[in-house]
Amino acid sequence: MSEPWGFAHLSDGSVLITVRGGTLLHVSPRGVRQEVQGVPQVHVQGQGGLLDVIVSRDFPQTREVFLSMSVRQKDGAGTAVHRAQLSRDGSRLTNVIKIFEMAAGSSGGRHFGSRIVEATDGTLFVTIGERGDRPAAQDISSHEGSVVRVTKSGAVPKDNPFVGKEAARAEIWSFGHRNPQGAALDLQGQLWVVEHGARGGDELNLVRKGSNFGWPVIAFGRHYSGAKIGEGTSKKGMQQPEFYWDPSIAPSGMMVYSGELWPEWKGHFFVGSLKFDYISRLSGAPVVEREKIRGPSTGRVRDVREGPHGGIWFLSVENGALYRMTPNE
Catalytic residues: 111
Q: Which residue type does 30 have?
A: R
The one-character DSSP state at 41 is P
Query: In angstroms, rounded to a whole number, what is the distance separating the alpha carbons of residues 298 and 292?
Result: 11
- For residues 93 and 128, the answer to whether their CB atoms sit within 8 Å is no
SS3 label, residue 139: coil
Query: In angstroms, rounded to a whole number, what is the distance separating the alpha carbons of residues 235 and 250?
Result: 25
Backbone angles phi, psi at 306, to 5 degrees: -85, 130
Query: In angstroms, rounded to a whole number, what is the distance separating the alpha carbons of residues 122 and 233?
Result: 35
- For residues 7 and 305, the answer to whether their CB atoms sit within 8 Å is yes
The residue among 172, 99, 184, 101 whose CA lies nearest residue 137 is: 172
- For residues 270 and 257, the answer to whether their CB atoms sit within 8 Å is yes
Query: The dihedral of CA 204, 249, 116, 234: what is its sign?
Result: positive
Question: What are the residues whose beta carbons fall under 8 Å from the beta carbon of 221, sequence distance 6 or more?
Answer: 197, 198, 199, 200, 201, 202, 229, 246, 248
Rg (CA), the chain: 18
- For residues 114 and 51, the answer to whether their CB atoms sit within 8 Å is yes
- For residues 125 and 173, the answer to whether their CB atoms sit within 8 Å is yes
Query: In angstroms, rounded to a whole number, what is the distance separating the alpha carbons of residues 8 and 312?
Result: 12
